[in-house]
Structure 1
Amino acid sequence: MKLFFKAENILNVPNIISFYRLIMFPVVLILALLGVERWFVILFCINLITDIIDGFIARKFNLVTNFGAALDNLADIGTYVLALLGVFLFKWQDFKPHAWLLYLFLAIFIISYLVAFIRFGKIPGLHLYGPVIAGYLQGAFFFVLFVWGFNLWFYYVAVGWGAMAYIDKILVLLKTDDIRPGLKGIYWVMKEKK
């Protein structure tokens, strides 16, 4: 079995920040389940901000690693779980009339991870342009939602873009045999194949 993370410097600032998000997951989860909305919002928003910071530092200072991509991906999944839990516990009345788009996005999101697992036997830490932009949009949306309240047009932009981005991810997973950091999207994968 090939050592996936061999020869990578995994002890770096972006990975430490991603690890912080992972260890904060159970704390924020417990706060949500206990109904402590104020502290849930504060710590959840810190997680959103650190998600932006870790990726920026990794790219800016050339600290991108396979381990870091996988760690960030796991932390991102935790952030999605917390965001959805916060929506259902604290903001569901705002979402309820527009829930169909959220359900559509969640179905596509889950299918993308199933395709990755079926195709590659693991969940790769792909950071394609579409899902990265979707993550920023959705992070900003959730920040606005929990700090200032529900904004309908922002919801449709963030979740609609997310659905399209994860369709792009599914297409990439179906078209490439080489999952690696640096893949950008289906357009670039198809361009490489020509």
Structure 2
Amino acid sequence: MKKENFFTIPNLLSFYRLLAFPWILFLVVSKKENLFSIFLVINLVTDILDGLLARILHQRTEIGARLDSAADDLTYALAIIGIFVFKYEVLEPHLQSFIVFIVFLILPIVLFLIRFGRLPSFHLYSTKIGGYIEGIFFILLFSGNFIVPYYYFMVVWGIMASMEHIAIQAIIPDVRSDVKGLYWVLKEELRQRKRE
């Protein structure tokens, strides 16, 4: 992975999401649900675009991976806060499963911080797909559509992706960015052992 120019389009999109965080949080505190929904969707769209553009334009960098991960964490924190502020009544019957889901979203980050002293930036396929699934859920929810089977699909996928993240943390000896998934990590470990 390259460690070059900070001023790339993908990095600027991630940086926008970081800068937008206080504004969107203000919209939550001010109880401006419509504006909150619009800016949350903008954040979710820029999340998709930054990764896509980084690959297409060959502008993947270590700083970009870290920026993207930090911006993702803040965007999903905003979405969860927004759900509790604006959509609590809709979610209340499913509150226990949602709390379990949140714990599994936070757990890999906390464990990574404890082990490696920084935020993770794995960008696993499972968490990327999970991000799309969650983004669609947030968009549906804030447009007035709570689809129970889809909600539980999102929860189960999120928990499984978090478990994969935790398993990878337990296997790798040092910090890495842009890890595809557990299969590739195990394959690489087997290759290493054969060399030794």
Q: So what's the TM-score if we normalise by structure 1?
A: 0.93
Tell me the equivalent position of 1:57: 53
Tell me the equivalent position of 2:82: 86
Q: Give per-residue Cα distances to partners, 1:95-154, cap 9 Å, x unaligned.
A: 111122211121122220121011111112110111111111101110111123211111
Aligned 8 A contact 1:66 1:181 in 2: yes
Structure 2 gaps, min length 5:
191-196
> Share of identical aligned residues, percent?
42
1:116 and 2:115 aligned = no
Tell me the equivalent position of 2:28: 32
1:182 and 2:173 aligned = no
Q: So what's the TM-score if we normalise by structure 2?
A: 0.92
Tell me by how many angstroms 1:76 deviates: 0.6
1:12 and 2:13 aligned = no
Tell me by how many angstroms 1:179 deviates: 3.0
Residue identity opposite 2:102 in structure 1? L
Partners of 1:122 and 1:180 lie apart in 2 by 11
Partners of 2:26 and 2:185 lie apart in 1 by 41
Q: Output the aligned Cα RMSD.
A: 1.5
Partners of 2:45 and 2:12 lie apart in 1 by 14
Partners of 2:98 and 2:19 lie apart in 1 by 27
Q: 1:156 aligns with which of 148, 152, 160?
A: 152
SS at match of 1:80: helix
Consecutive aligned runs of 4 or more in structure 1 exceeding 6 Å deviation: none
Tell me the equivalent position of 2:194: none
1:165 and 2:161 aligned = yes
Partners of 2:35 and 2:178 lie apart in 1 by 36
Partners of 2:181 and 2:87 lie apart in 1 by 33
Tell me the equivalent position of 1:125: 121
Q: 2:18 aligns with which of 5, 18, 22?
A: 22
How many residue pairs end up in the alignment?
Answer: 190
